[in-house]
Every structure is written in structure tokens, then in C-alpha cells.
């Protein structure tokens, strides 16, 4: 990548301020998580963000994974900066954002996600102000987290306005998804969670999995599970990962892409019609409240 192109990507459309966000609402923050690792969170986060961007929403994808920078790799982006550069005051939040396809903006977390946990008051202020500056120019922030309920994941899960739990039809993934939902219920983090079943071979299989989780949650937990939809098992997903080109763009007619478009339509209708959130200020306040 030459330097000019790199700069263009970095700046992206982040400089276009002041456009009121869709329907004049405050930004929504949705966190994507799972109990078991490797169930497809990052692929879902990337492809869902892209479809929602294609549909005209202004989306920021926050890579909140503690481990490797998955989201960048899946999109073939090589952002030179991440949250660490921001936290240590070398760069602004806008400067560390990378521009992906369809106007999607990406905040690469990198090791900054771990550093966020020990952020000093001045770093917290910078993060808060940086995010608040985005209010009014972003409709949706999607956060891709690591699997399991580590402290960092819990902070994103708790602070986000909505939560999507991803599972596959494997029994281990289902029981781990239930464990996450149980923690969310026990700590009263959210009254409801969305559920996506990935890697299904049929709609019946997806419904069986979702019914199982919905039923047990209803019976034993004080929480509502909303089944949002499924994504088909599709060899194109692996091919797209190897090509570092998200499948909704590289294989738009694949079954997986079709599933994600359906999911995006449902999310767009469901989530965006829900009650007003406290926007990004509510999100950042909660993130740091949990820290203390």
C-alpha cells in the first residue's frame, strides 16, 4: 500500500462531521460475544457491519478482541495504529480509525484493549471525548469481543446497549452460550439478549438450537432471548478468510452472505426501532464505572 492510499484510508470519512444520524437518534452500541471461541463472531461482525454500511447506516466496527487483530486481517486492512497509539496520546481516535469497504470505519483495538482496563483518569477522558465526538456521525458501533467472560469482555457486554450471543449447533457451543446468558441474567446486565446460530445446515437446525436456549433461559433465568437468525455453514466463508476479503463482498451470492443480509434486515428493523439509548455517552460512562 502506498503512503497516500494509507493516509486516505486512515482519514477515511472520519472528517465529515455534523451529519445527523439516521432518524435523528443517538448512536447504538451492539456487542457481539460468545461463550465458546471460534464460533464465528469476527466473521459475523465484519460481514454484518459491511451489509449494514451498504444499507446506508454509518457503522463503526470496534475490534475489542484481546488477542490478535482479527477484524483487520479479515478485511485485508493493515492499519498502522491501534488503541495503544490513542491511549498514549500519540494519535487521536479519528487518526487510528481505518477505512474499510463501503465506508465502514474500524477501530483497531490491538493491545490497547488490555490497557483500557488500567486506563488513567486522563486516558479515560481522552477515550470518552474521542467517542463522544463521533456522536451524531455514527448510527451504530458494533463491538467484536473475545470469547468467554473475562473482565474486558464483561465490560463491553455490560456497557453496550444491546448484546448478540453467537453459537453454533455444537453442544459445547450451546452450553457455553447458555453460561454467558446466565451471567448476563445473574448480574442483570441486560433484560434481553439477541441470539445468532452460525454454521447451520438448515433452518430447522437453527430453530432447534434457538428453541433449546430460549426454553432453558425462560425456565431458569430472568432474561428474554430473542432469536435473530442464523448463518449457513458455507465453504465460501473459509475461502473468504483465506483471501482476506469478507464474503458479503467477495461471494455476495453465497448462502452465508444471503444469511447475513437477512440478519441485517432484521437487526435494522428490530434494534433500530427500539427505545432511545443514552448514545455513546451512556456507553463510555458505563465502561469506566465498571472499572472502578
- Alpha-carbon gap, residue 196 to 188, rounded angstroms: 21
Closer Cβ to ligand ATP, 21 or 47, answer by number: 47
User: Do residues 40 and 231 lie in contact, with contact meaning Cβ atoms separated by under 8 Å?
Assistant: yes
Specify the stretch interacting with ligand ATP by CB under 6 A; choose among 12-20, 188-196, 233-241, 278-286.
233-241
CA distance 240 to 105: 20
Nearest CA to 62 out of 24, 112, 15 is that of 112
Interface with ligand ATP, residue 37, by CB under 6 A: yes
Our finding on whether 42 is near Mg ion (CB under 5 A) is yes
Interface with ligand ATP includes 43 (CB under 6 A)?
A: yes
Residue of 9, 41, 105, 251 interacting with ligand ATP (CB under 6 A): 41
Q: Which three cell numbers, joined as nine digits, stand for 114?
A: 488490555
Asked if residue 49 binds Mg ion (CB under 5 A), the reply is no
241 binds, among Mg ion, ligand ATP, none (CB under 5 to 8 A by kind): ligand ATP
CB neighbourhood size of 73 (10 A): 15
Residues of this chain, 196-215, that bind ligand ATP according to CB under 6 A: 198-199
State the binding string over 78-117 for ligand ATP (x if CB under 6 A, else -): ----------------------------------------
Within its chain, how far is the Cα of 45 from the centroid? 5
Q: Determine the distance from the C-alpha atom of residue 152 to the mean position of all C-alpha atoms in its chain, rounded to a whole number.
A: 14
Residues 6+ apart with CB under 8 A from 162: 28, 29, 30, 31, 190, 194, 271, 274
Query: Does residue number 34 form part of the binding site for Mg ion (CB under 5 A)?
Result: no
> What does 104 interact with, of Mg ion, ligand ATP, none (CB < 5 to 8 A by kind)?
none
Q: Report the partner that residue 27 touches, choosing among Mg ion, ligand ATP, none (CB closer than 5 to 8 A by kind).
A: none
Site size for ligand ATP (CB under 6 A) = 21
| Strand residue runs (E) in the chain | 28-33, 59-64, 98-99, 105-107, 140-145, 162-167, 192-200, 224-232
Residues that bind ligand ATP (CB under 6 A): 34, 37-43, 65, 70, 146-147, 198-199, 231, 233-234, 237-238, 241, 256
Residues that bind Mg ion (CB under 5 A): 41-42, 70
Amino acid at each position: 500500500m502506498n503512503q497516500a492510499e494509507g493516509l486516505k484510508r486512515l482519514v477515511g470519512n472520519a472528517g465529515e462531521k455534523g451529519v445527523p444520524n439516521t432518524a435523528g437518534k443517538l448512536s447504538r452500541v451492539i456487542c457481539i460475544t460468545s461463550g465458546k471461541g471460534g464460533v464465528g463472531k469476527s466473521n459475523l461482525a465484519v460481514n454484518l457491519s459491511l451489509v449494514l454500511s451498504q444499507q446506508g447506516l454509518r457503522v463503526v466496527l470496534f475490534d475489542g478482541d484481546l488477542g490478535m487483530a482479527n477484524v483487520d486481517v479479515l478485511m485485508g486492512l493493515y492499519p498502522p495504529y491501534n488503541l495503544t497509539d490513542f491511549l498514549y496520546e500519540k494519535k487521536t481516535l479519528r487518526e487510528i480509525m481505518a477505512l474499510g469497504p463501503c465506508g465502514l470505519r474500524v477501530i483497531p483495538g490491538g493491545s490497547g484493549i488490555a490497557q483500557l482496563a488500567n486506563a488513567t483518569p486522563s486516558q479515560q477522558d481522552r477515550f470518552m471525548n474521542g467517542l463522544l465526538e463521533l456522536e451524531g456521525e455514527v448510527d451504530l458501533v458494533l463491538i467484536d469481543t473475545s470469547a468467554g467472560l473475562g473482565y474486558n469482555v464483561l465490560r463491553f457486554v455490560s456497557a453496550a446497549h444491546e448484546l448478540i450471543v453467537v453459537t453454533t449447533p455444537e453442544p459445547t457451543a450451546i452450553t457455553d452460550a447458555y453460561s454467558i446468558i446466565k451471567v448476563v441474567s445473574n448480574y442483570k446486565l441486560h433484560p434481553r439478549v439477541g441470539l445468532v446460530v452460525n454454521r447451520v445446515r438448515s433452518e430447522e437446525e437453527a430453530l432447534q438450537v434457538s428453541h433449546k436456549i430460549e426454553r432453558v433461559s425462560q425456565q431458569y433465568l430472568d432474561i428474554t432471548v430473542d432469536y435473530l437468525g442464523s448463518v449457513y455453514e458455507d465453504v465460501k466463508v473459509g475461502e473468504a478468510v483465506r483471501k482476506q476479503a469478507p464474503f458479503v463482498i467477495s461471494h455476495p451470492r453465497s448462502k452465508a452472505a444471503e444469511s447475513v443480509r437477512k440478519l441485517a434486515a432484521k437487526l435494522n428493523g428490530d434494534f433500530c426501532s427500539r427505545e432511545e439509548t443514552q448514545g455513546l455517552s451512556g456507553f463510555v460512562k458505563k465502561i469506566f464505572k465498571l472499572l472502578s
